[in-house]
Structures are given as C-alpha cells and as structure tokens.
C-alpha cells in the first residue's frame, strides 16, 4: 500500500483490492492512551464512521462506496474517487458553476442533517467532484445528532472554511439558500450559526 495522507487520527493509503484501486483508511495508535482503551476507541470510531457513511448514502448524499470494514484492524476499505477536490477548483470556475456546486452542497448538508447525521468536518477539502457528482468524504469526526447546536457547528465550520480559503463572498449564502429550501428546520439552524459566530467574535475580543 502507498500512503498518501497522514493525519492526527488516521493514515490514508492507496491500495489494490481484488484488482480494484481503493482507499484504505486506518486509524492510528495513540501511545498516550492505555492499550486496551485505545483499541476500543479506535474500533468504535472505525465502526461509527462506516455506519455514518452508509447512513449518508441512504439519505441521498454521495459518499465513497465501502467495500470492507476491518474492525480489528481499525480499517475501512472504500472506493477511490479519482476526481477534483472542491477546494482546488472552485475559485477557478465560473460564478454559474460555483453557484451550482454551492446549491448542491446545501442540498447534501440538508439531507445529512434531516437524517440526524453531523459530518463534523465540513470543508471544501472534504468534497470531491467526479463524473458531474459531488461526493462527501472523511466522516471521521462525525456523530449522530438532531441537535440544532451540532447542525449549526457543522455549517459554521463551512462558513469559516469559505472565508479562509475562497474568494467569492457569495458561496456560503448560496449554500444556505439551498439548505433552507431542502430542510424544514433550516431557519432555526441558521439562527444557531449566527449565534455561534457571535460567540466566536466575543471570545476573540475577550482574549
């Protein structure tokens, strides 16, 4: 296997699985934890991520196909998406394309939240455009929740990602418009996003 990314929680490998190019995500050991506890935590998080991805697919959100879940090895074997990261391409595209993608992002997040799925790390780095379809990847920080606070945190993270990495100031607004059209509880969640943003500004002033 060829390692292509090493993060704080997991290593990502490009590998061959029965003649098919795949991604293997392996949760890494944490030496500061008791061995038995570390094993249990990594197994639980591997299982949780796989279940969230399957739930997302059922909810109508495109995610990599899962081919195998190796709980004991803390690994998920999944489809290799040979596409483009939204982070890398969105600033290079026309405004019409940007609006189309942002509306699809909003629709997808609405489907996740309506089905009690919090992605946990919604940034344009974790979205892939392939074959005219938007895929969400890396549910490693995800949880099951129907709390508007959690939904708000999800969207606030995306808002901050747009501000930090992308030029067009309309991107997040287009996401919110689509989110509101596709999710009955959207207005309450958007209020939470605004509240979270205010809390952040207050904390920065205090600091």
What confidence tens digit (pLDDT) does each residue in 103-124 have? 999 999 999 999 999 999 999 9
Which CATH number does the domain housing residue 67 bear? Answer: 3.30.200.20
Instruction: Give phi and psi for 169, each to the nearest 5.
Output: -75, -10
> pLDDT per residue over 160-198, tens digit each?
999 999 999 999 999 999 999 999 999 999 999 999 998
Of 79, 106, 130, which one is at a domain's C-terminal end? 79
Do 173 and 197 sit in the same domain of this protein?
yes
Q: In this structure, what token pair is assigned to residue 14?
A: 């490009």
Do 141 and 187 sit in the same domain of this protein?
yes
Do 102 and 146 sit in the same domain of this protein?
yes
Q: At what angle do helices 148-165 and 186-206 cross, to 10 degrees?
A: 60
Of 79, 114, 142, which one is at a domain's C-terminal end? 79
Q: How confident is the model at residue 204 (pLDDT cuts 50, 70, 90)?
A: low
> How large is the average pLDDT for residues 127-131?
97
CB 140 within 8 A of CB 120: yes
User: Residue 140 burial by CB count (10 A; 0-12/13-18/19+): exposed, middle or buried?
Assistant: buried
Q: Is 121 designated active site?
A: yes
Do 123 and 169 sit in the same domain of this protein?
yes
> How large is the average pLDDT for residues 18-25?
96
- Which stretches within 24-131 are classed as H helix? 35-58, 86-89, 95-114
> How large is the average pLDDT for residues 149-161?
96
Instruction: Give phi and psi for 34, each to the nearest 5.
Output: -55, 140
Do 52 and 131 sit in the same domain of this protein?
no
Q: In this structure, what token pair is assigned to residue 38?
A: 């570390």
| Domain total in the chain | 2
Identified catalytic residue from 16, 38, 68, 121: 121
Q: What is the value of pTM for the model shown?
A: 0.93
Quote the domain boundaries for residue 94. 84-206
Do 72 and 92 sit in the same domain of this protein?
no
**Separation of alpha carbons 43 and 48, rounded Å:** 9
Do 73 and 89 sit in the same domain of this protein?
no
Which CATH number does the domain housing residue 202 bear? Answer: 1.10.510.10
Do 88 and 61 sit in the same domain of this protein?
no
Q: At what angle do helices 186-206 and 171-182 cross, to 10 degrees?
A: 140
> pLDDT per residue over 36-88, tens digit each?
999 999 999 999 999 999 999 999 999 999 999 999 999 999 999 999 999 99
Looking from the CA of 195 toward its CB, the CA atoms found within 13 Å total 12
């Amino acid at each position: 296997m060829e390692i292509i990314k090493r993060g704080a929680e997991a290593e990502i490998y490009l590998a061959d699985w029965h003649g098919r190019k795949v991604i293997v995500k392996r949760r890494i050991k944490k030496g500061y934890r008791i061995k038995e506890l570390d094993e249990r935590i990594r197994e639980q998080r591997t299982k949780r991520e796989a279940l969230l991805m399957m739930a997302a697919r059922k909810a109508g959100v495109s995610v990599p196909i899962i081919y195998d879940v190796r709980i004991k090895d803390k690994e998920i074997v999944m489809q290799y998406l040979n596409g483009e990261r939204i982070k890398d391409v969105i600033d290079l595209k026309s405004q019409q394309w940007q609006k189309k993608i942002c509306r699809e992002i909003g629709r997808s997040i609405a489907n996740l939240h309506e089905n009690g799925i919090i992605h946990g790390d919604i940034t344009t780095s974790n979205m892939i455009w392939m074959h005219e379809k938007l895929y969400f990847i890396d549910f490693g920080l995800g949880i099951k929740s129907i709390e508007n606070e959690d939904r708000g945190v999800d969207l606030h993270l995306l808002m901050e990602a747009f501000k930090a990495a992308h030029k067009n100031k309309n991107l997040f607004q287009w996401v919110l418009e689509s989110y509101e059209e596709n999710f009955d509880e959207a207005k309450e969640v958007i209020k939470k996003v605004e509240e979270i943003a205010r809390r952040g500004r207050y904390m920065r002033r205090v600091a």
